[in-house]
Amino acid sequence: MDGKLSFLYAPTTNMKSALNFYRDKLGLEEAWREGDGTVAFKIPGSEIELMVDLLEEGIHDTAGPMFMLSSVDAFYEEEKDQLNFVRKPSDIPPGRWAALRDPDGNMFYVLDTSKSHQ
């Protein structure tokens, strides 16, 4: 995998509550925001950010690491028969992402910024 750990992904069903916890109680500083559904926070002393994302109804993602790849689609094509993809590559505002489970059932995510380079 050519990826770099970029985010710790924390899905939420209540963005107001998540903001209250991460921003107001823990004092984390916002790094960026994508609409009302995604907020990233700076983690002091690290280049890695905490990405809090509002879950869509019926989606049951769990927290996990998110790795930045050069191409999610290429990674999927190379690894789809060897790895447990629980979400095939799909569009997000800056590019593409997919979700996988490791052998113990832990979630991890891959993303790219392919749309931001068009």
Confidence (pLDDT) at 2: 76
E strand or H helix that includes residue 72: helix 72-79
Average pLDDT score over residue span 73-94: 94
Task: Compute the mean pLDDT over every residue in the chain, rounded to the nearest whole number.
Answer: 92
In this predicted structure, what is the pLDDT of residue 117? 55
Q: Are 60 and 107 in contact (CB under 8 A)?
A: no
pLDDT for 57: 77
Alpha carbon distance 88, 110 (integer Å): 10
The string of pLDDT tens digits covering residues 18-73 is 999 999 999 999 999 998 999 999 999 999 999 999 988 777 789 999 999 999 99
Domains and CATH numbers, the chain: 4-117 (3.10.180.10)
Global pTM value: 0.86
Cβ atoms of residues 62 and 11 within 8 Å: yes
> In which element (H, E) is residue 18 found?
helix 15-19
Residue 64 CB-half CA count within 13 A: 18
Q: Which residue has the higher pLDDT, 50 or 117?
A: 50
Cα gap 103→59, rounded to integer Å: 21
Q: How confident is the model at residue 96 (pLDDT cuts 50, 70, 90)?
A: very high
Q: What share of the chain is helix, strand, coil (3-state, %, to 5)?
A: 20, 45, 35
